[in-house]
Amino acid sequence: MTKPATDTTSATMENNAREVGSTPERHVPNLTPEFRRDAPKGATTEAIDLSKETPCFQLNALNLHYGSNHALCDVSMMIPHKRITAFIGPSGCGKSSLLRCLNRMNDLIDIAQISGEILLDGQDIYSKNVDVPELRRRIGMVFQKPNPFPKSIYENVAYGLRIQGVRRKSVIDETVERSLRHAALWDEVKDRLKSPAMELSGGQQQRLVIARAIAIEPEVILLDEPCSALDPIATAKVEELMMQLKENYTLVIVTHNMQQAARVGDYCAFMYMGELIEYDTAEVMFQKPSKKQTEDYITGRFG
Amino acid sequence: MLKQWYKSGSPYIWLNAGAIAISMIMVVGLIGLIAVRGLSHFWPAAVIETTYTVPDEEPVRLLGTVRRSETVTATVVREAGFYVPEDQMIVTRHLLQLGNRDITSRDFAWYIGDHMGEWTYPENALVLERMTWGNFYGYLEAILEDGEVVAEGEAAWDELYERVARAVDLRQQILQIERYDIGGIAYQQEQIRLAQRRLELRGEDTPEAMAELEEQHAALQEEYEELDLHRNDLRRQMDRDSVRAETAEGRTVTIAMSDIVRAARPNVMSFGEKIGHYVDSFKEFVFDYPREANTEGGIFPAIFGTVLMVIVMSIIVTPVGVLAAIYLREYARQGPFTRLIRICVNNLAGVPSIVFGVFGLGFFVYFLGGAIDDQFFQAAQPAPTFGRPGLFWASLTLALLTLPVVIVATEEGLSRIPKSVREGSLALGATKAETIWRTVVPMAAPAMMTGLILAVARAAGEVAPLMLVGVVKLAPNLPMDGNFPYLHLDRSFMHLGFHIYDVGFQSPNVEAARPLVYATALTLVLIIIVLNLTAIAIRNRLREKFKSDSD
Ligand SMILES: Nc1ncnc2c1ncn2[C@@H]1O[C@H](COP(=O)(O)OP(=O)(O)OP(=O)(O)O)[C@@H](O)[C@H]1O
Ligand SMILES: [Mg+2]
């Protein structure tokens, strides 16, 4: 299954057209998933095929301009449900920008102009009647730079719940602990939950914002270089977390670490200068990429 | 070599250090000058006695305290009408406080040092602070009770202190009765009159209702008469004693004890006694009501009015300024219109404060206040309630005056909140409003406090607009008392800044008032410092709480 990239996109577009036409009642997302730590990893070992996936996001001819800077050019792709899709590409190629389009974070940038279409479960997320805060609650995001709130560690993780109006202390306590455990941070902070989050180290902050994002149990989690400041052990823990989350959530990650993309990614997309160059299963991308650019980048002969 | 020094950056360090040193010297010097001039006033200074002999004139005996001494050229003194020998070029002159304004009508006067005889410090020199006519200077002769001498000579001094204390105690009781009891009754009677008038206006003035109110009024009247009797009794007790003393000119005078506030024998008092006297005078200054057209007594109503006004102003300006800034920075679409608003706000800060006073008087007092009176206080008309200058309007005017400071500081604070924090909140599904109220505003709170600190400093020192919208020379009542509704925002009030102006420039007796001006100024500065320190302490606590990378 070594189709050229252009074929992939056209194929997914057909796929999408089918989906839009079909009944929209698929995928009632499980809002109260249980994190099964002992989940069998067998799921990933099955042969996977993009054309057989159920789409989560469907991007059609997406263009993004920051003023006169054309940051994303005609990106069309399908991001499958309950899989990990990894984005790779050189710095400044538009990976973060693409991620920010997926939960409408670019709305906040006045000069950002977007055209094309992004469908989430068949619904256009840029249509007028979308409840943006609700959309962002469903699509969690971990930013490239850790951005904890200047509050206590506990309050950082509890923030999303409080926004949703959860008052019960027992519920919040439990969620905070569970989220911190999943983000491999609990042991380090369990004795100082009330101390300011700003006093954590960069890597701890990175895990804290992951915990904060998963505390509200979104359907999709966008992770922008979640391991950039982590040591190998913490990285391994976060990767393990991602493998677990995949059971119930759709994950989209950006990473500069090829091994990581190969290890955790089911699918991998290579971007260059705002364009989607190649998009396929991670296996194909890292073993026999069809584009020379991709191969050069992956093997480090880039530039 | 020089270039090396230049490059090392030390010239800039020296420049900065120099600028700070100059600022420090100015601040410390200013406060030091005010403090020395103001605080020395309460010290019981030695009383000198001397003979003053102008050539070709009868020698006179002087008794008083030296308030100031200076050396000037002879011409200046000659122009002032003093005799100085032709060949003399410079002259030393002394300002003596002689007191006894009721007898000699010149309680302060300059005397040429060369004409003075030897200075002596007589032991029986007496200084009396009086309710009227300022200080008395003389020699104690005797203490009288009901016109009979009870003590003379040295024994008279102990008797004097004791009986002054008794009189002061009685006066306190009388004041208590007048200010609180009788004042309260008058207030309640006025309320009854207003209630009657209200009934009349509504056409509900049935004879029964009116009679009931009339009855209440009569009961209060009875209470008043009882208090009046009691008061007169106290007055009589106070009038029992008197002091006989001789003035420097040799006249014997009798001063009623009821007229005496404090007695001192400065030339004999020990250091400890002087300290006691000092503390006593200082306490009176801070906690008592003014006397003698504000030139004597305390400044308590002015302190109270200043602080209360600043507090009311803060309560008004903070929410308004903060909300305006949040709207401008977070919600309004940035463009020419918001820029125009910002320019207007900044210009507002540059408008002379008296203009705010005029606006406050025209718009708040006459227009708004008049409308409020027409709506809610018809019974009191034609006397205005809110339609005249008062505490609320003064606070509102100052709130308007300090609004730009709060808006600018808050906007500054909001703009410094990193975008990433907002994004973090929004990404968790928070709406814009939730993000602002839960994250942005708490983080900007220290900046808001900074704005408030600046506003308080500006408001506490402002005088000009207040003269138009509520500050008076002498307010009969404090804006807060024991009568419902306790806080009377419609009342006019006294203010330290205006008090300084009034005492310093409007007083008939400039020399007597001068130390009070310094002492009042010092109080004002101290109050501003205390208000600021409080706000700064709150701000630091907030900063600690919302410590973020941006700080
Ligand atoms: N807020 C913004 N305003 C203007 N231009 C922006 C903004 N954010 C990103 N860009 C531009 O968009 C392009 C893509 O940026 P983006 O952050 O998506 O890159 P990236 O692939 O995430 O790079 P990196 O790996 O370094 O994070 C860059 O040219 C960048 O200058
Ligand atoms: Mg990026």
Q: Would you list the domain boundaries of chain A?
A: 29-42+53-298
Least confidently predicted of A285-289, B79-83, B127-131, B283-287: B79-83
Check whether B160 has a pLDDT greater than 50.
Answer: yes
Residue B344 shares a structural domain with residue B246: no
Domain that holds residue B16: 2-41
Check whether B549 has a pLDDT greater than 80.
Answer: no
Report which protein residue has its CA nearest ligand 1's atom 28. A92
DSSP 8-state secondary structure symbol assigned to residue B45: P
If one counts the domains in chain B, the total is 3
Check whether A20 has a pLDDT greater than 90.
Answer: no
Contact at CB, B422 and A150, closer than 8 angstroms: no
Residue B278 shares a structural domain with residue B345: no
Say what percent of chain A tops pLDDT 70. Answer: 84
Type of residue found at A50: L
- Which CATH number covers residue B544? 1.10.3720.10
Check whether B35 has a pLDDT greater than 50.
Answer: yes
**Cα–Cα distance, B320 to B328 (Å, whole number):** 12
Give a yes or no: residue B196 inside a domain: yes
Question: What fold, for A29-42+53-298?
Answer: Rossmann fold (3.40.50)
Contact at CB, B428 and A163, closer than 8 angstroms: yes
The confidence score (pLDDT) of residue A303 equals 52
Least confidently predicted of A40-49, B398-407, B495-504: A40-49
CB-based contact, A103 to chain B, within 8 Å: yes
- Using the atom order of ligand 1, give the atom closest to the CA of residue A94: 18
**Cα–Cα distance, B252 to B255 (Å, whole number):** 10
pLDDT level of residue A302 (50, 70, 90 thresholds):
low
The confidence score (pLDDT) of residue A21 equals 38
Note the pLDDT tens digit of each residue in A96-132.
999 999 999 998 888 999 999 999 998 999 998 999 9
Check whether B537 has a pLDDT greater than 70.
Answer: yes
Size of interface A-B (CB pairs under 8 A): 69
What is the torsional sign of CA B155, B157, B161, B166? Answer: positive
Residue B399 shares a structural domain with residue B509: yes
Residue B31 shares a structural domain with residue B145: no
Check whether A12 has a pLDDT greater than 50.
Answer: no
Stretch B149-153: mean pLDDT, rounded? Answer: 89
Give a yes or no: residue B82 inside a domain: no
The confidence score (pLDDT) of residue A6 equals 41
The confidence score (pLDDT) of residue A30 equals 38
Check whether A152 has a pLDDT greater than 60.
Answer: yes
Residue B327 shares a structural domain with residue B198: no
Q: Using a 6 Å cutoff on CB, does residue A96 contact ligand 1?
A: yes
Check whether A87 has a pLDDT greater than 90.
Answer: yes
pLDDT level of residue A18 (50, 70, 90 thresholds):
very low
**Of A86, A83, A122, A118, which is closest to residue A102 (Cα–Cα)?**
A118
A78: three-class secondary structure by DSSP: strand
What is the DSSP secondary-structure string of B244-288? EEE-TTS-EEEEEGGGEEEEE-TTT--HHHHHHHHHHHHHHHHHS
Chain A nearest-CA distance from B323, in A, is: 21
Q: Which residues of A touch B418 (CB under 8 A)?
A: 147
The confidence score (pLDDT) of residue A31 equals 34
pLDDT level of residue B89 (50, 70, 90 thresholds):
confident
Check whether A270 has a pLDDT greater than 80.
Answer: yes
The confidence score (pLDDT) of residue A143 equals 92
Note the pLDDT tens digit of each residue in B295-350.
788 899 999 999 999 999 999 999 999 999 999 998 998 889 999 999 999 898 88
Type of residue found at B202: R
Which backbone phi and psi does A136 adopt, to 5 degrees?
-70, -25
Residue B270 shares a structural domain with residue B146: yes
Task: Write the burial class of residue B512 (CB in 10 Å: 0-12 exposed, 13-18 middle, 19+ buried).
Answer: buried
The confidence score (pLDDT) of residue A117 equals 92
Give a yes or no: residue B53 inside a domain: no
pLDDT level of residue B11 (50, 70, 90 thresholds):
confident
Contact B507/B293 with Cβ under 8 angstroms?
yes
Check whether A22 has a pLDDT greater than 70.
Answer: no
Q: Using a 6 Å cutoff on CB, does residue A91 contact ligand 1?
A: yes
Name the average pLDDT for chain B.
Answer: 89
Last residue of a domain, one of B231, B251, B285: B285
**Of B259, B256, B260, which is closest to residue B146 (Cα–Cα)?**
B256
Say what percent of chain B tops pLDDT 70. Answer: 99
Stretch B169-191: mean pLDDT, rounded? Answer: 89
Q: How many CA atoms lie within 13 A of A149 on its CB side?
A: 31
Write down the ipTM of this complex: 0.81
Give a yes or no: residue B87 inside a domain: no
**Cα–Cα distance, A77 to A11 (Å, whole number):** 9
What is the DSSP secondary-structure string of B329-385? IIISPPSHHHHHHHHHHHHHHHS-HHHHHHHIIIIIIIIIIHHHHHHH-GGGTTS-S
Note the pLDDT tens digit of each residue in A192-227.
999 999 889 888 998 999 999 999 999 999 999 998
**Cα–Cα distance, A221 to A212 (Å, whole number):** 11
Q: Which residues of A touch B427 (CB under 8 A)?
A: 103, 105, 136, 140-141, 143, 213
